[in-house]
A and B are shown apart, each in its own frame.
Chain A
Amino acid sequence: METNDGFAVEADGEVISVSGDLDAHTAPRLDDAISANDSGGSVRIVLDMSNVDFVDSSGLRSLIRARNVEGQERSVVLRSPSPATLRLLEITGMTEHFGIEDAP
């Protein structure tokens, strides 16, 4: 559901679609959505970032947290990240910790 800050998260199986700015204000909602979607302890999660225009370090921390489920590390794939998202991954040296894929 989209709120008045333009941020929304929707889960559909292993794919979680995120839209809006992922920052210190909105990142907790992504954490909540990922936790709520973790009941099966999936080993892979896809975050559709095609509608995310901006990510800050709080958002990055959420992406890092998404790699851990029930004490196990899992694969987190970022689908269609924006240049701004890729720039943040690049300057923090985190690019290699995530799979990057284009939209199917």
Chain B
Amino acid sequence: MTGPPQSGELVDRVVLDVMSTTAHLRLVRLMVSALATYHGADLNDLEDLRIASGELCANVIDAAGDGTRLVAVAEVRAGDDGRSLVLEATVTGTDSIEPFDDISSMVLTAAADSHGLGRVLDGKDRADVVTSSAWFSRRLHLAAVSEPA
């Protein structure tokens, strides 16, 4: 028998690996809202998560090179007083992700608790192999007791 998850413990994880195209933004939003629903997120959370996940991935896809893939990883983690959803979206391309513009920053600031950008060279400082990622975190306000079987 296992007890409730400890704070910070990974509760659930979903990975979406698709072509880097804006046509797949709907898939990302669907993945995130389905995962959050499963964990009992309320309607306001779901709306904000759809907004934030689409915003994040649109910026990441915008930076992607031709033929690259978008890998979006959604994780639900336990916290001291609830659960949080973290989405990290990564592409490997020739450009880094531009800093979020004013509207995107406003959207992510309002719809997520925190967000940021990352950029990792391949270890040899080769500018042509750059992994760019962006992430946000959002605490879930649970609408129902959330201990899925």
Are A21 and B58 touching (Cβ within 8 A)? no
Does A24 interact with chain B (Cβ within 8 Å)?
Answer: yes
Q: Compute how far the CA of A91 lies from the CA of B110 in the bound complex, rounded to whole angstroms.
A: 6
Does A87 interact with chain B (Cβ within 8 Å)?
Answer: yes
Could you tell me how many residues of chain A have their Cβ less than 8 Å away from some Cβ of chain B? 18
Q: Which of B1-51 contact A (CB under 8 A)?
A: 21-23, 25-26, 29, 47-48, 50-51
Partner of A87, one of B25, B26, B47, B58: B47
Does B111 interact with chain A (Cβ within 8 Å)?
Answer: yes
B interface list, Cβ under 8 A from A: 21-23, 25-26, 29, 47-48, 50-51, 54-55, 58, 61-62, 103-104, 106-107, 110-111
A interface list, Cβ under 8 A from B: 5, 21, 23-25, 54, 56-58, 60-61, 83-84, 87-88, 91-93
Q: Compute how far the CA of A84 lies from the CA of B21 in the bound complex, rounded to whole angstroms.
A: 23
Q: Compute how far the CA of A98 lies from the CA of B48 in the bound complex, rounded to whole angstroms.
A: 21
Are A23 and B110 touching (Cβ within 8 A)? no
Are A91 and B47 touching (Cβ within 8 A)? no
Are B22 and A88 touching (Cβ within 8 A)? no
Given A56-B55, A87-B47 in contact, is the A5-B106 Cβ separation under 8 Å?
no
Q: 6 tightest A-B contacts by CB? A: A91-B110, A25-B22, A24-B58, A24-B22, A56-B54, A57-B103
Interface centre among A24, A56, A58, A87 (most CB of B within 10 A): A56
**Shortest beta-carbon distance from B98 to chain A in Å:** 14
Partner of A84, one of B23, B26, B47, B58: B47
Interface of B, helix, strand, loop or mixed by DSSP: helix
Given A24-B22, A54-B29, A57-B104 in contact, is the A88-B58 Cβ separation under 8 Å?
no
Partner of A88, one of B21, B23, B51, B62: B51
12 contacts between A and B (CB under 8 A): A5-B26, A23-B22, A23-B58, A24-B54, A24-B61, A25-B23, A54-B54, A56-B55, A57-B104, A84-B50, A87-B48, A88-B107
Q: Compute how far the CA of A93 lies from the CA of B22 in the bound complex, rounded to whole angstroms.
A: 25
